[in-house]
Amino acid sequence: MKILVAETAGFCWGVRRALDQAVDLAKKTDGPVLTFGPLIHNAQVLEELTEQNIHAVEHLADIQGGTVLVRAHGVRPEVFEHLRARGADVYDATCPLVRKVQKIISKYGNDGYDVVIVGDDHHAEVVGLRGYTPTRCFVVADEKEAENLPSFDRVCVVAQTTQNDDTFARTVEVIKQKARVIRATNTICEPTRDHQQETIELARRVDLMVVVGGRHSANTCRLAALAAQHGARVLHVETDAELRASDFEGCATVGVTAGASTPEWMINRVVDTIESFNREPVSRVQTWLKHMLSVLVASNVYVGLGAASLTLATSLLLHPTLTRATLFPLMSAAGLFILAMHTVNRYQERSHYSGWGTFSPRAFQRFQQLMLGVAIAALAVALWIAAALGYGQFLGLACFGVLGALYGVKLVPLRWARYCLGIRRIKDLPASRDIATALGWTVATGVVPLVTVGTPTAPHAMAVLSFIFLLVFLRSALIGVRDVQGDKIMGMETLFKVVGKRRTKEVLVTAVALLTALLFALALSGASLAAFLLLVVPYICGVSWLYHQRLLPKGAVGEILVDGQFLLVGALAFLWHLVR
């Protein structure tokens, strides 16, 4: 069974903008953040927001001061006045594209035009739009309802931003017959248009279309209706728990799309579940191998092995003639330290794991107490080895161990948060995860070996440390691209959230170019191992391409391929060490 996932599936930028604004407010506000109406039509995301003290209220009577965020759908203009009259600090997260429709209605309404909105009469966006005109305002769902409209001298026609192009065009044609002057503006937003078009194209190619999203989400329901209209059998689900293997019997190709209120992790879980229904014969060896790979990833043993492998390479780059007696403790300290810090970080984020849908967090939940104990033991042994190597080595690991433990801890009191731009934890800093991860690895796999064995020149040392930082930064940023849809909701900050998708790709390309240049420079300076390590560059490019093409396997296999760059670096260093 082949699974095709729509590239446009999931959050639109207007929804993401409102969610980010709510989370940012919660960081720097005393007390809860209230949203006037549900911020998003997705029960699972609302649960995550509630954990961060962000709550939806439906009625003005429920608001007595505090911080109130107007959601992306917008509200009638008098609502702002009522909210302020009740003592609330009001923040506006109305989608700019919805605000554009409000301005069009207001302009033409003030010029004496009647207004017709093509949309769903009781939808929150439409309810808000109706308040922006002083003249008559009508709402019609389609051309059939438009037949019942009265005649107009002058009329302005707009669309709910999540409407359908064909429906809007047909409705305008009917209204033209009833109006002396008509000003029709197609205000359907571009993300909606792209989403609907891709859903239609996908529906024509598949046996079954799975639409993921809330049943109360108008745009999600419209996607399901469009898919059905174009010949696909449609299955509309809110979560992966609703899927049954029997639904996919006889299906050769399945399409997956999702509404603008559906996060990426929910889409991934649905895809994972559908893939599990592929009943291909699997041997015991394959089952055992898959299980072992899963354990390696979930326990962070694999990432620890990656750190040890990277340490082997960097140590030999710093000092080519090192013996096993020196290499082994350096590799052990780095591997155990990185294993411990990754596990501690996951433990701190355990309350949010239910949403991610990636393999490691779900597996981690089952054994979180055991894993925390293993992490503490690993950290203790790593520090003991570092102390045996020297005072500086111990101090370096200990300092970053403390910073790692404090990564998710609220260090700034809430009353001071507004003076710190809402930054209360290290993780609240822009791109903190990518930078902190790269720095931690650089200390464990580069600085500790550098302090232990030294290096011929300072430029050589800086080149090696920069190589480590870029290699780990690339890995972390790449994973951030995968997890972006949940970043701020899940309390994670990545490069993607700071600069966006296009610029993230530009940064990654630049980082690969710099990494390549550093290895060439090291090779030209006499470090022949650097020439061997250039083979890791095409590997990184290949994995990045698979990620962006949605071809990288999910779960443990995918994570093994991503972190495989570290084992490849170690293997190349080991081969060089044998043949030199």
Q: Kindly tell me if the per-residue pLDDT of 116 is higher than 90.
A: yes
Q: Which residue, of 164, 188, 212, is where some domain finishes?
A: 188
Q: Are residues 394 and 494 in the same domain?
A: yes
Q: Identify whether 4 is part of a domain.
A: no
Condensed to tens digits (0 to 9), the pLDDT of residues 467-520 reads 999 999 888 877 665 554 444 544 445 555 555 556 777 778 888 999 999 999
d(CA 436, CA 306): 17
State the CATH number of the domain containing residue 426.
1.10.600
Q: Identify whether 281 is part of a domain.
A: no
Helix axes 301-318, 555-579, angle to 10 degrees: 30
* Greatest mean pLDDT range, 153-157, 438-442, 503-507: 153-157
Condensed to tens digits (0 to 9), the pLDDT of residues 41-90 reads 777 777 778 877 888 888 888 888 888 999 889 999 999 999 999 898 99
Q: Identify whether 215 is part of a domain.
A: yes
Q: Identify whether 385 is part of a domain.
A: yes
By percentage, how much of the chain surpasses pLDDT 90? 43
Q: Are residues 358 and 467 in the same domain?
A: yes
Q: Are residues 26 and 163 in the same domain?
A: no
Q: Kindly tell me if the per-residue pLDDT of 394 is higher than 90.
A: yes
Categorise residue 552: left if φ over 0, alpha if ψ from -120 to 50, beta otherwise.
beta
Choose the weakest-confidence range: 212-221, 273-282, 469-478.
273-282
Q: What is the pLDDT of residue 580?
A: 76
Q: Identify whether 406 is part of a domain.
A: yes
Q: Kindly tell me if the per-residue pLDDT of 338 is higher than 90.
A: yes
Q: Are residues 254 and 296 in the same domain?
A: no
Q: Are residues 268 and 327 in the same domain?
A: no
Q: Where are the beta strands (DSSP E) in 141-200?
A: 152-159, 179-184
Q: What is the pLDDT of residue 279?
A: 62
Choose the weakest-confidence range: 35-39, 297-301, 348-352.
348-352
- When pLDDT is cut at 50, 70 and 90, the band that residue 176 belongs to is very high
Q: Are residues 395 and 259 in the same domain?
A: no
> Encoding tokens for residue 185?
């503006």
- When pLDDT is cut at 50, 70 and 90, the band that residue 232 belongs to is confident
Give the chain's mean pLDDT.
84
Q: What is the pLDDT of residue 295?
A: 78
Q: Are residues 160 and 237 in the same domain?
A: no
Q: Identify whether 2 is part of a domain.
A: no
- Residue 378, classified by CB atoms within 10 Å of its CB into exposed (0-12), middle (13-18) or buried (19+), is buried
Q: Kindly tell me if the per-residue pLDDT of 360 is higher than 60.
A: no
DSSP structure class, residue 69: E
- When pLDDT is cut at 50, 70 and 90, the band that residue 442 belongs to is very high
- When pLDDT is cut at 50, 70 and 90, the band that residue 239 belongs to is confident
Q: What is the pLDDT of residue 493?
A: 55
Count structural domains, the chain. Answer: 4
Q: Are residues 362 and 416 in the same domain?
A: yes
Q: Are residues 169 and 221 in the same domain?
A: no
Active-site residue, from 48, 125, 349, 493: 125
Pairing between strand 54-57 and 33-36? Answer: parallel
Q: What is the largest CA-CA distance in the chain?
A: 92
Q: What is the pLDDT of residue 355?
A: 40
Q: What is the pLDDT of residue 156?
A: 96
- Beta bridge mates, 98: none
Q: Identify whether 473 is part of a domain.
A: yes
d(CA 121, CA 118): 9
Cα atoms in the Cβ-side hemisphere of radius 13 Å centred on 137: 22
Q: Are residues 421 and 491 in the same domain?
A: yes
* Nearest partner of 535 among 576, 499, 507, 506, judged by Cα: 576
Higher-confidence residue: 276 or 360? 276
- When pLDDT is cut at 50, 70 and 90, the band that residue 125 belongs to is very high
d(CA 495, CA 515): 18
Q: What is the pLDDT of residue 487?
A: 45
State the CATH number of the domain containing residue 228.
3.40.1010.20
Distances (CA, A) of 187 to 16, 62, 122, 192: 20, 33, 18, 10
Q: Which residue, of 276, 306, 330, is where some domain finishes?
A: 276
Higher-confidence residue: 562 or 154? 154
Condensed to tens digits (0 to 9), the pLDDT of residues 88-115 reads 899 999 999 999 999 999 999 999 999 9
Condensed to tens digits (0 to 9), the pLDDT of residues 517-543 reads 999 999 998 889 999 999 999 999 998
- Please give the distance of CA 377 from its chain centroid, rounded to a whole number: 32
Q: Which residue, of 33, 66, 95, is where some domain finishes?
A: 95
Q: Kindly tell me if the per-residue pLDDT of 450 is higher than 90.
A: yes
By percentage, how much of the chain surpasses pLDDT 70? 86
Q: Is 125 a catalytic residue?
A: yes
Q: What is the pLDDT of residue 153?
A: 95
Which own/partner contact pairs does 363-367 have at CB distance under 8 Å and 24+ positions apart?
A: 363/294, 363/297, 363/298, 364/298, 367/298
Q: Are residues 74 and 156 in the same domain?
A: no
- When pLDDT is cut at 50, 70 and 90, the band that residue 421 belongs to is low
**Nearby residues of 82 by Cβ (< 8 Å), 6 or more positions away:** 60
**Residue 24's domain spans which residues?**
11-95
Choose the weakest-confidence range: 263-272, 325-334, 385-394.
263-272
Q: Which one-letter amino acid corresponds to residue 570?
A: G
Q: Are residues 477 and 397 in the same domain?
A: yes
State the CATH number of the domain containing residue 80.
3.40.50.11270
Higher-confidence residue: 270 or 352? 270
Q: Kindly tell me if the per-residue pLDDT of 186 is higher than 90.
A: yes
Q: What is the pLDDT of residue 495?
A: 53
Q: 255, 208 in Cβ contact below 8 A?
A: yes
Q: What is the pLDDT of residue 393?
A: 92
Q: Identify whether 433 is part of a domain.
A: yes
Q: 358, 483 in Cβ contact below 8 A?
A: yes
Q: What is the pLDDT of residue 485?
A: 44
